[in-house]
Structure 1
Amino acid sequence: MTAPRPHLPPAAPPAEPASRRFAEDVLAGLTAPRKHLAAKYFYDQQGSALFEAITRLPEYYPTRTELGILARHGAEIASALPPGAALVEFGSGSTQKLRRLLPHLRDLAAYVPVDVSEEFLRSEAEDLGRDFPALRVAPVAADFTQLFALPPEALGAAARAGFFPGSTIGNFEPEAAAALLRHFGATLGPQATLIVGVDLVKDKAVLDAAYDDAAGVTAAFNLNLLARINREVGADFDLAAFAHRAFFDTALSRIEMHLVSRQAQRVTVANVPITFAAGETIHTENSYKFTVEGFRALARSAGWEGRAVWTDPDGLFSIHALTATSIRRH
């Protein structure tokens, strides 16, 4: 029997507003007093592939640890979702984590992966549709941090639940993380359930190695952002003139990733000259690390109540089940 083809949105035209927003955000970040770029722009097709390679590195513990929690506690995590729910995964990327839950979600009404990388989204959705032909898959190509429309034909009257694994919540400043959780609540609606992966505070050496691997894959992932800007915005970055730097800031409880200018130089971006001093950096990512209670307090401030939490035996990572308590739908 042929698997049903998942509903795929039409390809975005070249002049899509998201492309203009990318260019505007790049110029705003690179002309700021402290240069920065938004981490969400890492994930073009090449960036998504590089990130998947990072998740397989020996130094990078989060993915395998979270997968281990899902394998050990999948039935309990799945039981936190309403029966017959439609599951919306924000920033879906690879479906490997969802696949750990699917054997325990046999009554799932629909799966709605939301991701900004359309080509990668299509590929993963088609693979999932072939492997789980009874599952209704309705991918949405969108930036999950912005307003977007969920496909009503896929959700129907099913209860809505959210899935946000990978500790992506840590990429946002605390106030922005709370705003994002409120946004998820408004997207899913009152009494929704949200399953969130959250990385935990741990030894600095473990954290530093996870974001600066010996094989240089994370460095390539970071530098690929400049290659994307060259291609999509019209810039002349020399990737060899920048170096990857990552470190854990204990006081702020976050990993910082930067691109460091190896020399004094000038780069043209969309016909705008951008100067760099030797050693000047572009701040490309934060990854905040939490305690269990610290994350629950953040979630509570955004209208979510912690119902359950699961961790690995070494206390490296956590998965939280939250219920919306004071959320208004968009």
Structure 2
Amino acid sequence: MRAVVLEEYGEPPAVRDRPEPTADPDGVVVETEACGVCRSDWHAWQGHGDWADDRVPIGQVLGHEPVGVVREAGAAVETVDVGDRVVVPFNLADGSCPACRRGRTNYCEDATALGFGPDAPGAFAESFHVPRADINAVELPDGVSSVAAASMGCRFVTAFEALDAVAGVSGGDRVVVVGCGGVGLSAVQVAAALGGTVVAVDVRDEPLDLAAEMGASETVNADEVADMPALVRESLGGADVSVDALGSAETCRTAVDSLASGGTHVQVGLTGEDDRGEIPLPMDEIVQGGLTVRGSRGMPPARYGDLFRMVATDRVDPEALVTDTVSLDEVPDRLAAMSEFDTVGVEVVTEF
């Protein structure tokens, strides 16, 4: 089968032939219908993450936002069957660790990550394997398209979990989203759907225009404002919730400094080479303002039903974030475009 393989950090990945996967007794093989192209794939391609013992190995098949049809199911699989359309979280849980037993499968202590770990070749491929399918493969409702499901895969579910479960956004909350890439735009749409008043911040006008379409009440080009947090405090009285959807010292500090007293900052963006996992925070202000700083990663598959119901009732529309569909052969170029922030919205591979 054809697959996108990481052969050298920072050099264009190659489309290579790889052996077809076979199903473990508790796993399924999925024929890929669509797979989102995510900035986390870009981080993997760049070789980031060694500071957190999270560097993707050379030889990895990339791709972690898939949807597809079950082609083969192991004898022990009970929840899905051959022919079912499924969506798969990037964090593949084992279901038995202490975190999993508490329902926090997105923080599984023995997880592997689809498209990032050597035991989990990714979905920039004609097919891929899902271990422990009863936990990690979720049947897709008929009304959700493959492109919409792929756009949910990592970024939309991450935004939903961060704002709904972690920050508890509800009607009237003032929400600032810093960074309007795929996860940031997802956060704008989700926060608006939950009843928040959303300010979207970026340094590019095109994603800010898309953020307005996704429900942002106000958009701010940070390059055109001397003191962005002061502007938020002046226009909103400060934010109840802030999100750093990029992952840099500048964007994180901008988000935290935008908070009102008692506010919550949720970090979803992972850092790059400049910060290497370490971002200084204004700890005295956090103490004096009673602020909360939390991290959020992915979403437990058990919560997918909540999101599917929001899609079915038109409260959210993940497919509205999709600005382009591409082929497997175009993936290397689309990753390279992310180095210059030359992408807008979500791009999805639909031709394999």
Larger helix share, 1 or 2: 1
Question: Under a length normalisation based on structure 2, what TM-score does the superposition of the two structures give?
Answer: 0.27
Normalising by structure 1, report the TM-score.
0.29
